Amino acid sequence: MPSNFVYIKDIIPTIDLDIRYFSNQNFTGNPIRGYERPVAILTKRAAFALQQVQLDLNKKGLGLKIFDAYRPQRAVDHFKAWSLVTSDTLAKQEFYPQLDKKDLFKLGFIASKSGHSRGSTVDLTLIDLKAQKEIDMGGPFDFFGAISHHNYTKLTAKQKQNRKILRETMAKFGFVAYDKEWWHYTLKDEPYRKTYFDFLVK
């Protein structure tokens, strides 16, 4: 691991991790290449900014749960190879029931390069600290569809408020949202804007 990267748990011991690409619980239905341990890695700059987010949320009885952080380029290549095998629809019903798999690239849900590989992008949600469970964001992580968009209107007032809390707190400490995925944020002042890393998550 490059010296400017850290394990998020070392910086934020209280953070929850649910590293989906280490498991079968993702849109391919299988573990993803490059994930050898269920750990989360970020650049130091992004990890310390995220620490501030966690501390701010804790005052409201909330905390963060991370689904993915740094992602090796080989994992992105795995997604691309998977998308070309149109007969492999193992997890379609859960993650992209209304979409044709061959359209996932065109619609912006999968790309040949990912900001995650630059090390300062993170996928996450909010948890209620007292209940120790995720709060309702109106749609699940990695769901490919309009419900995942920030501007999706058919949400309850509470779901809209929950997304707003996450977005505003992340923005407060320098993270920019991705319009098509309510869980996806990139540090505005990321240190590696043009470098796509491929070291293992281990």
Q: Are 67 and 123 in contact (CB under 8 A)?
A: yes
74: left (phi over 0), alpha (psi -120 to 50) or beta: alpha
Q: What is the 8-class DSSP label of residue 182? A: E
> Quick one: which of 72, 61, 53 has its CA closest to 8?
53
Is 181 annotated as catalytic? yes
Q: Are 40 and 34 in contact (CB under 8 A)?
A: no
Q: What is the 8-class DSSP label of residue 41? A: E
Query: Which entry of 94, 134, 168, 181 is annotated as an active-site residue?
Result: 181
d(CA 176, CA 71): 18
User: Which residues form the catalytic set?
Assistant: 181
